[in-house]
Amino acid sequence: MLFQGKDALSRDRKALLAAFQTKAGIRFRSLSLLNLSFTHRSCGNEDPSRSLNNERLEFLGDAVLGLVAASCLYGDLSDRPEGELARVKSYVVSEEVLSEISKSLGIDECLLVGKGEEQSGGRAKKAILADAMEAVIGAYYLDAGFDPCFKFVRRLIEPEIGKVLQNRHHKDYKTTLQEYAQKYLRVYPAYRLVKKSGPDHDRTFWVACDVGGAEYGPASGKNKKEAEQGAARAAYDSILAAGGIEAARMLQVERQ
């Protein structure tokens, strides 16, 4: 399905889009559709004439990405149970991974964002980069069809699947800590916002993690999720360094 966009693209913009396609190894028939996939909603907030943004394409791309990831895992890991497939899939379609893939393709340079978002570092925000990656996938699906899109997405995620299988991936410490604490200590980690610092557009959050009465951290991050991951890692690493399960149990008893 071709997108009939009305925006006239400048020569420089066309050159940038051409460079992206070369780097990504794909080719769009509709440059307007590709351009739309890079258009953040902040553009419309500041310029009403730019009412279209990439959110609908992101919605579509998310579905396509999930289908391709599930299909690849189902076919390639025929000996793995459903739970293991779900764990790997949750990693390869995560914001963390998609934002890194997005940067590797140069999507950060192609983004169209409003002045306010630009000034607040929008091009480097993981959520915006990940959303744009999904929007590109959705746009390519519309432009080229399922088979070329499947091959494109598979090429992007296969290395990430390999990282998980070789245990070289970025770890979700909140999940790891929760599973560890539930299994061995029969408790759930609890997170507490200690403080916030900085202006509204550039906040830093500080979060501490409590495991069985012992508090770890605080760890900092540009959002609560990032800070909680840091606190979970601090807790998990500290528990293991102190002797693991038995040491944590003893500390838990002492706190009661």
Chain segment 16-34, per-residue pLDDT in tens: 999 999 999 999 999 999 9
Same domain? 75 vs 199? no
pLDDT value for 153: 98
Per the structure, the complete domain to which residue 54 belongs is given by 11-165
Mean predicted confidence (pLDDT) in 60-87 = 91
* Number of domains observed in the structure of the chain: 2
Same domain? 98 vs 151? yes
Does residue 200 register a pLDDT over 70? yes
pTM (global) more than 0.75: no
Judge whether 213 lies within some domain: yes
Judge whether 183 lies within some domain: yes
Same domain? 230 vs 146? no
Judge whether 181 lies within some domain: yes
Find the DSSP H helices in the chain: 11-24, 31-37, 42-46, 55-76, 82-92, 95-104, 107-110, 115-119, 126-144, 146-165, 173-185, 224-241, 245-255
Judge whether 135 lies within some domain: yes
Instruction: Give me the percent of the chain exceeding a pLDDT of 70.
Output: 88
Same domain? 161 vs 181? no
Same domain? 182 vs 216? yes
Looking at per-residue pLDDT, the higher value among 243 and 176 belongs to 176
Judge whether 6 lies within some domain: no
Specify the CATH number for the domain of residue 67. 1.10.1520.10
Among 123, 149, 165, residue at a domain's last position: 165
pLDDT digits (tens, 9 = 90+) for 129-185: 999 999 999 999 999 999 999 999 999 999 999 888 876 555 678 877 887 788 777
Same domain? 41 vs 117? yes
* DSSP letter string, 201-240: GG-EEEEEEEETTEEEEEEEESSHHHHHHHHHHHHHHHHH
Q: Give the torsion sign (CA, 110, 115, 121, 122).
A: negative
Same domain? 27 vs 126? yes
Same domain? 153 vs 179? no
pLDDT value for 224: 92
pLDDT digits (tens, 9 = 90+) for 87-139: 788 788 888 889 999 999 999 999 999 988 888 888 999 889 999 999 999 99
pLDDT digits (tens, 9 = 90+) for 35-63: 999 999 998 776 666 678 999 999 999 99
Same domain? 88 vs 181? no
Among 117, 137, 165, residue at a domain's last position: 165
pLDDT value for 186: 83
State the catalytic residues.
62, 134
CA 194 to chain centre: 25
Among 102, 130, 165, residue at a domain's last position: 165
Specify the CATH number for the domain of residue 220. 3.30.160.20
Q: Which of 62-71, 205-214, 247-256 has the lowest mean pLDDT?
A: 247-256
pLDDT value for 108: 95
Same domain? 84 vs 56? yes
Judge whether 4 lies within some domain: no
pLDDT value for 82: 82
pLDDT value for 1: 38
